[in-house]
Structures are given as C-alpha cells and as structure tokens.
Amino acid sequence: MTFRYPNGKPYEPKVEQKKKQPPSITYSNRGMSLEDDLNETNKFYLENQVAVIHKKPTPVQIVNVDYPRRSAAVIKEAYFKQSSTTDYNGIYRGKYIDFEAKETKNKTSFPLQNFHAHQIEHMKNVLFQDGICFVILSAFNQFYYLDSRHLLTFWDRQLNGGRKSITIDELNESGHIIPTGYQARIDYIKIIDKLYF
C-alpha cells in the first residue's frame, strides 16, 4: 500500500543515515585568526584608500615538480630560500610601514622566543631608515601595538641575561591596546595616527 501526500506525491520514509564521526582535531591553522583578521583589516584599508599594506610572501625555491597532466602541477620538493623578515609592509601617509604579528596563549607573559634574531635585525634596519616599525601582539585577550624600539629594549635585556619574556605590566606600559571593529578588525592605523601624525 502506498501513502500519498495531498498533492499526489508518494510518501517515502527517510532512511536513517549513519552518524558522522566528529572531525579529528587538527592544529595546522593555529595562529591563523590573527593573520586572517589583519588581512581583512588591510583589505579594508586598501579598498577605502587608507593605506597600502600587504602580507609579504615567503621566498621559496622549488626543486622538484611533478606534472601528472598539462593543467596540473604538483610541487614535490621546495626549500625556503632565506629567512623571512617580518610579516607585513606597505605605505601610509607617505611613511614606510613594516610589522610582525605574533600571538601567545601564555597567560602571564609574552615569550621573546617567538621572535628570531634576523627579524630583530630587520626591524633595526627599518628604524634606522626612519620607517614605522612595530609588532602586533595577540596576548591576554587583547591586541597590542608595540613599537619596535620597545621590543628591542626587551630583546637586549634578554641577551644580557635578563628576563626572556615581556610581562603583562610591561606590555600595558609600553604598548597600546588596538581598538577592534567590524570592518577594520584590528585597527592599528588609529595607533599610528596617535603616535606619528
């Protein structure tokens, strides 16, 4: 016997589907939310002619490529050409902008081991040329703007046998909390305006 809906269409009972297994936990994109938010912020700045800031590509040397068919190439082996410098650079109101973005889950301090000596050297070079150089730190449930000059002070302290991290109090004293919003998610230009213009 077939049951029919009032429109004449036959009723077909739903077949129970197998329950899906929960997705396995992956940590491959940890840290991407800060980068994603900064990329969206920079896109907003560009589209509204506020600033031109881009993420720097990581220089890679491709060694081995497989061509399974003409329309598809698969990179089988590649190496970093050189150590990368900082994450972002560009221009704002005629000034060169250069910055690094880092985050930590640490609840009491920001470890300096998150930075590399070549990045510190690059920041020194940018400051020497009178560029605006800073780091954006995601820490303690806030986004902080920390001028590279302050970071260099903490870095030198570490090299001289001192503390190997930046405390919450030091970050609150030396850094600036960056306002967050909808379109300019991490609106660091407001801090640059306050400090430089």
The per-residue pLDDT for range 96-146, each reduced to its tens digit, is 999 999 999 999 999 999 999 999 999 999 999 999 999 999 999 999 999
The residue ranges of every structural domain in the chain are 43-196
pLDDT, tens digit, for every residue of 42-101? 999 999 999 999 998 777 778 888 888 777 888 888 776 666 789 999 999 999 999 999
**Choice between 87 and 6, residue whose per-residue pLDDT is larger:** 87
DSSP labels for 79-107? EESS----SEEEEETTEEEEEEEEE---S
163 conformational bin, left if phi > 0, alpha if psi -120 to 50, beta if neither: beta
Q: Phi first, then psi: give them for residue 65, nearest 5 degrees.
A: -125, 135
More confident residue, 20 or 166: 166
Residue type at 119 in one-letter notation: Q
The mean-pLDDT minimum among 3-12, 65-74, 163-172 falls in 3-12
One-letter amino acid of 144? Y
**CATH for 43-196 (3.40.1350.10, 1.10.3720.10, 3.30.465.10, 3.40.50.450):** 3.40.1350.10
The tokens describing 101, both together, are: 């973005």
61 labeled part of a ligand binding site: no
**Cα–Cα–Cα angle for 96, 125, 92, nearest 5°?**
10
pLDDT at 18 over 70: no
pLDDT in the model for residue 26: 40
Question: d(Cα 46, Cα 48) in Å, to the nearest integer?
Answer: 5
100 assigned ligand-binding residue: yes
| 109 three-class SS | strand
Q: What is the mean pLDDT of residues 170-182?
A: 95
How many CA atoms, within 13 angstroms, populate the side-chain half-sphere of residue 124? Answer: 10
Cα gap 148→126, rounded to integer Å: 10
